[in-house]
Every structure is written in C-alpha cells, then in structure tokens.
Amino acid sequence: MQRLFSTFAEGWPGVGLLVQRLLTGVALLYQGIAIFEQAWVPSTGVPQIMGAVLGIFILAGLWTPVAGALVAVVEVWLAAASAGDPCISIALATLGGSLAMIGPGAWSIDARLFGRKHFGS
C-alpha cells in the first residue's frame, strides 16, 4: 500500500481528505439504508448495499484505493441502471474515484497500517 502513495497527507490537505471521506462514506451509507424503504429491485438494491459496505471502508480509511475504485464502478452501475436522476450516483462515483487516486490522508487506518514508521533513535 505504501507504494500507492508518496505520502499520507497531513495538515489542511489531510483534513480535506478526511472531510471528503466522511461525506462520501455517509452518503453511501445513507443510500444503502434508504433502499430498505423502497420496493426491492435487485438491479439497484444489490449495488446500493455494496456501496454501503464500501462506505464503511471509506469512512474508516481502510483499503481506500480499492474501496474508492469499487465505489466508482458501483455508482456508475447505479447511474446506468436507475430510471431516476443519476446526479448523486455520478457525484459519488467521482468522489470515490478521486479518493482512489489521492489516498486516505493521515487520519485513516491505511496511514496507521501502511504509512511510514518513525523509529526513535
């Protein structure tokens, strides 16, 4: 995982990535929970539940490059499969893709597991 990122952003850029992860994860969880209030349609229900599970990974900052890429794929699938307005799915696909490319930031499980280790001397 270290090879995917030159650094895990700290400071204001890290805060920005944390806010982006929180926004994306909460929106994905909301969509996954909202599916249970509607009539069950497997073509949109399964990807929304997958999105909710991926939202948990995004919130925690765990396996962010993989989870972000999968979010992008799932949300494009939802945008193509739904009969309604695809704007939210396109926005979440964009956020997921950008998280996959940029990384999770310093306040994530990925940073703790795969970040640079500082040894005192």
Q: Note the pTM of the prediction, 2 decimals.
A: 0.84
Cα separation, 48 vs 16, in Å, equals 25
Q: For 23-73, write each residue's pLDDT tens digit.
A: 999 999 999 998 888 877 777 788 899 999 999 999 999 999 999 999 999
Q: Please say whether the beta carbons of 32 and 25 come within 8 A.
A: no
What are the structure tokens assigned to 105, written together? 């930031």
Backbone φ/ψ region at 38: left (φ over 0), alpha (ψ -120 to 50), beta: beta
